[in-house]
Each structure stands twice: as structure tokens, then as C-alpha cells.
Amino acid sequence: MNQATDKTVASLLRESTRLLKDSSDSARLDAELLLAHALGWQRVRLYGDSATAVRPEIAERFERLVQERRAGRPVAQLVGEREFWSLSLKVTADTLVPRAETELLVECALNRIPEDSVGPLLDLGTGSGAIALALASERPRAKIVATDISEPALAVARYNASTLNPDRIDFRFGDWFRPVEGELFAAVVCNPPYVTDQEWMLRKYELGYEPAQALRGGRSGLYALRRIIEEAPPHLLPGGWLLVEHGFRQGPVIANLFQATGFENISTYRDLPGRPRVTEGLWPDQHE
């Protein structure tokens, strides 16, 4: 975009939507989010002020954002935030971008956690802190622990907590259950890496800007999921729940892993497109 001053909000949106169509399934939405960010506006203002001229320096900044989006960088990273469970979260290249299907995981967890629950609850691989913060917003009495093996990701999660729910969540560094050795929880919730090696190669353009360790689950995509399911029982109170997000092709295998480990009341839930996405299981009270 040149130094001309005849660029308007409407013309920039038309041009950028055209440029993004080959690289994004949500080209118009991406363009709107990026332009609103460049202008420092709320997105809704783009419609009322569509004829407004855009200063050349802002148009140039917007163009750079569009080119980065065309290269595959997620919009959330470009604007520095993503909405999840009606919470505005800081997002960086060190964290997974929170996705809509993970809201299903939160919804399922809340169905198993009473409103007056004091927990404790555990969010494994917290990343940006999205799941832990969503649970904290809905269960204000519950103690919540969140772990991650990435210190940079934990720094982002702590920042998000400081602006949304200070002092409510205990963030700990370490691999899965290692930071909570000897502790018991009423519910364990996790969105682990579950992308298979083949899926990673096919979707590297789409996923390559996000941390691989938060996405890649090995050849079958089950490396982390298997560990979490098998290692969860010593960390669950009798009658506690384990809930995990997984790939839509992995539902039957995950349910079998739950059953083989000794879980009961196993259920798998589908996301909005109707694909198996979340599986839960109850750890039985051995004294019944």
C-alpha cells in the first residue's frame, strides 16, 4: 500500500480480504481483526466508519500484518490477544492459540465440578492459562493448580492471571504431574499435544508458528495422552474426574485407554462440527 491518502477502511478491507482468500478460511474476519488492531478501534466501528480515510503509516502497518497472516502466522499472535470463554487473553509465539473446541473441554469440566466446589482442580499443560482462568471465572471458591513445562508459556499465563484473576491460580513449572507429586484433585483437565506426525507435516503451514511441543503427539498423536491417562489415578480423589481433549479420530482409542486404566462412567463429547473431541472418566471410590 502506497503513500496515497485515498485508502479508506472499506477499500482496505476489500483489498486485504482478496489477498487472504488463498491462505485463510476466514479471510474477511481476519482482515477486520487486523485492521481494527492497526487502527486501535473496536471491530464494530469498522462498519460505521467504513468511509473513513486511513493514514498512510497505519495502512502500511496493516499491510505488514496482512502479509504475515498470508505467511501463516495466527491472527491472535499478530494482534497479541485472543478471546476465550469471554476472557481476553494475551497470546504469544510461546503459547498455543486457544481454540473454540477447547471451550467444549471447559464446558464438560464445569458439568462435573459443582458450583460451590473448593476443588482442588488441576490444569495440565496450561499454556496461556486459558482453561485454568475459565474454570476460575466459573468456580470462584475452587483452588486451582496449573502446570506447564515451558517457562515462557507460564510467564504468559501468569500475566493473564494477573489481569483477570490475581492470586487465584497456583502456576508451577514441570512435566505433567511432576509438580504435583503426592497431591490429589477433584478434577484434572488437559488439552495435551495430540497432532500426529503425519498431520503435522500436512498442516505445518497452518500450525508452524505455534509451539510444536504443545501440538505434536508423536507418530500416533497419543504419546502425551497415554501418559496422562495412565498417570492420573494416583492424583485423583475417589470420585474425581479426568477430562482430556483429543483429535477427532482418536475418540475410540482414548475411551479404551480410560477403560483399561480403570476409569468408569466414560463418555466422549462432540464439538460443534460433530466430531469426537473430549473424553471424560470417573475414578471410582475403591471403598464402595
CATH code, domain carrying 49: 1.10.8.10
**Whether residue 102 is found in the same domain as residue 147:** yes
Q: Is residue 177 part of a domain?
A: yes
**DSSP one-letter code for 72:** T
Q: Is residue 67 part of a domain?
A: yes
155, 152, 147: which is closest to 174 by C-alpha?
147
Q: Which domain holds residue 125?
A: 95-282
Average pLDDT, rounded, for the chain = 89
Q: Under 8 Å CB-to-CB from 49, ≥6 apart: which residues?
A: 9, 41
List the CATH number of the domain containing 218. Answer: 3.40.50.150
Percent of the chain with pLDDT over 90: 53
Q: Is residue 2 part of a domain?
A: no
Q: Is residue 87 part of a domain?
A: no
Q: What is the pLDDT of residues 123-151, one digit of tens each?
A: 999 999 999 999 999 999 999 999 999 99
Select from 39, 71, 103 the last residue of a domain: 71
**Whether residue 144 is found in the same domain as residue 34:** no
**Whether residue 258 is found in the same domain as residue 118:** yes
**Whether residue 123 is found in the same domain as residue 172:** yes
Q: Is residue 80 part of a domain?
A: no
Q: Is residue 204's pLDDT more than 60?
A: yes
Q: What is the pLDDT of residues 73-128, one digit of tens each?
A: 888 888 888 889 889 898 888 888 888 889 999 999 999 999 999 989 999 999 99
**Whether residue 123 is found in the same domain as residue 59:** no
What are the percentages of helix, strand and coil residues in the chain, rounded to 5? 45, 20, 40
**Whether residue 105 is found in the same domain as residue 67:** no
Of residues 229 and 285, more confidently modeled = 229
Find the mean pLDDT for residues 230-236. 97
How many domains does the chain fold into? 2
**Whether residue 162 is found in the same domain as residue 57:** no
Q: Is residue 83 part of a domain?
A: no
**Whether residue 65 is found in the same domain as residue 154:** no
**Whether residue 42 is found in the same domain as residue 158:** no
User: Chain-centre distance of CA 170, in angstroms?
Assistant: 19
* Torsion 183-254-115-128 (CA) sign: positive
Q: Is residue 84 part of a domain?
A: no
Q: Is residue 5's pLDDT more than 80?
A: no
pLDDT band for 25, please (50, 70, 90 cuts): confident
pLDDT of residue 83: 85
**Whether residue 207 is found in the same domain as residue 269:** yes
pLDDT of residue 195: 87
pLDDT of residue 96: 83
Select from 55, 71, 87 the last residue of a domain: 71
Q: Under 8 Å CB-to-CB from 270, ≥6 apart: which residues?
A: 276, 277
Q: Is residue 229 part of a domain?
A: yes
**Whether residue 66 is found in the same domain as residue 128:** no
**Whether residue 127 is found in the same domain as residue 226:** yes
